[in-house]
Each structure stands twice: as structure tokens, then as C-alpha cells.
Amino acid sequence: NPITKKILEIVQTKQTNLCLAADVHTSAELLHLAETIGPHIAVFKTHLEITEDWTPGLGEKLKALSQKHNFLIFEDRKLADIGNTMIMQYENSVFEISKWADLINVHPVVGLPSIKALAERTSANNCGLLLLAELSVAGNLTDETYKQKSAAMAAELSEHVIGFIARGAFPGSENFLVMTPGVKLEAGTDNKGQQYLTPEIAIKGGSDLIIVGRGIIQAADPLAMAIEYKKAGWQAHLKQM
């Protein structure tokens, strides 16, 4: 898949397996993070609906920064509906996701036919699809059977699906990328369900990219902290080789 190839190229060239979860509320903050931390990441993850002042054109501005600093944009939209609705959410909303996102994700719970319908549209836009096979939060319902079924679905849709959101590798994830959220330099929780692994544990567990949000964006110096995470993720990766 060309998107998988592109991510792996970026990871090697920039020596970073870091994905920044840019969970901020204004477009100025979003653009500032993309500009300053962009040189140190492989993927920039957005939750566009939490941007209070979203305006048409913000996607294009992010896209320009992604080209300048060589990273991909992942809209963490977590689609989970009938195929027809997910396609409208992807293509027709005010956020115009299909115009700028390089990656988007979907909950496997909706089943193969709906995801296949969506996948044909994401592929037509050169957008890679990720299946949320395993969540990071306490008490979630993504058990081993769910992961197995997600892997089987990815195998069926291997020309469209590039990887999984998961805590680490699992049977069936071998030919796909694994991106892991819930990562912090110190393991622990946020008292709202989130559970953190360290970069070392995530990468040792077979993750290809670590997704870090508050560990970086709530630091006193987000840029310096992003560099810390980049180093931690890359050193863990080198140890695995």
C-alpha cells in the first residue's frame, strides 16, 4: 500500500516513530503544533471537531505544513455507523476530511460490508484506513475475540486497510502497521479511563508508532518534550532490531 510505504519512509528518514495527538482547541494552537513539532513526528493526529474556531481552509493549511515538514495527517474520527453514513461523514461534512486526511480510522464493530463501502472511498482519496482493534481505556470491550475478528477483516480488506489502533502486535497484525495510543514516559492512568504504557513497553510489544497527546502538549515545553518522546521511541525501536 502506498500510504504504508510513505509512513515507513518517513519513519526511516526522520528517525521518528512518534505520532502527536494534537488535542487542542484552536486552529492557531493546531497550526503552531504542526509548525513546531512537525519536524519531529511521522504522523500528526487531529480531532477536528474539538477545534472551536474551525474554518474551511484549515485542512489545507495543515496539509501545507505536512508537506513542508514531511508528516502525514491522521483524522482520528473513529467512524462507527452504516456505510452510507460513514461515507457522508468522511466526504460531505463541513470538515471536508476527504480533502486533507492521509489516514482515518473506523470501529470494526460495524462489520465488513459497511467498512468495505467506506474503504473504497478512502482508497480513492489515497487515504489509509486504520481499524480500532484494541482500545487503551479501562473496561473497554475489545477482547481477544474482537481483535481476531478485526484482524480477519483487515486481511479481507488488505488493499485498503493499512493498520490497527492497538496496544501492541497481536495474531493477524503482522502485515499491518500498529499504532498505539495511551503512551506516556511514566505509565499510569488519567483517572478518566485512560491507561498509559511507556514508549519502551509499547514498542517492545510490537507497536510501530506511538501516539502521544497530553504527555507532550501539556508539558511546560512541548517541543523539548516531543524530542524526548521521539528519542525514547526511536531508541526502543533500535533495541528491537
Q: Which residues are identified as catalytic?
A: 78, 81
Instruction: Report in angstroms how near the CB of residue 241 gets to ligand S5P at its nearest.
Output: 26
Q: Is 156 in the site for ligand S5P (CB under 6 A)?
A: no
- Determine which residue in the list 3, 118, 211, 226 makes contact with ligand S5P, applying CB under 6 A: 211
Q: Is 75 in the site for ligand S5P (CB under 6 A)?
A: no
Cβ proximity of 115 and 130 under 8 Å: no
How does DSSP classify residue 183? B
CA distance to 138, 166, 229, 238, per residue, from 194 (Å): 7, 14, 19, 27
Long-range contacts formed by 152-158: CB under 8 A, 24+ apart = 153/108, 153/112, 153/115, 156/112, 156/116, 157/112, 157/115, 157/116, 157/119, 157/129
> Which stretch, 2-10, 93-101, 135-143, 232-240, contacts ligand S5P (CB under 6 A)?
135-143
CA distance to 10, 53, 107, 110, per residue, from 18 (Å): 11, 27, 22, 29
CA 112/CA 131 separation, integer angstroms: 11
Site residues for ligand S5P, 31-60, by CB under 6 A, read 47
Which of 146, 149, 112 is CA-nearest to residue 129?
112
**Of residues 15 and 194, the one with the C-beta less far from ligand S5P:** 194
Contact track, ligand S5P, 160-179, x by CB under 6 A: -----x--------------
Instruction: Report in angstroms how near the CB of residue 26 gets to ligand S5P at its nearest.
Output: 16
Q: Is 214 in the site for ligand S5P (CB under 6 A)?
A: yes
Site residues for ligand S5P, 6-25, by CB under 6 A, read 21, 23
> Which stretch, 109-117, 120-128, 212-220, 222-230, contacts ligand S5P (CB under 6 A)?
212-220
CA 241/CA 236 separation, integer angstroms: 9
Q: Which three cell numbers stand for residue 48?
A: 477536528
Q: Is 150 in the site for ligand S5P (CB under 6 A)?
A: no
**Of residues 19 and 31, the one with the C-beta less far from ligand S5P:** 19
Total residues binding ligand S5P (CB under 6 A): 16
> Which stretch, 58-66, 92-100, 130-138, 230-238, contacts ligand S5P (CB under 6 A)?
130-138
At what angle are helices 112-124 and 83-91 packed, to 10 degrees? 30
H helix runs in the chain, sequence order: 2-14, 27-37, 58-69, 83-91, 97-100, 112-124, 144-156, 199-204, 214-217, 222-240
- Determine which residue in the list 16, 66, 122, 136 makes contact with ligand S5P, applying CB under 6 A: 136
With H, G, I as helix, E, B as strand and everything else as coil, classify residue 178.
strand
**Of residues 21 and 30, the one with the C-beta less far from ligand S5P:** 21
Q: Is 195 in the site for ligand S5P (CB under 6 A)?
A: no
- Determine which residue in the list 4, 15, 148, 194 makes contact with ligand S5P, applying CB under 6 A: 194
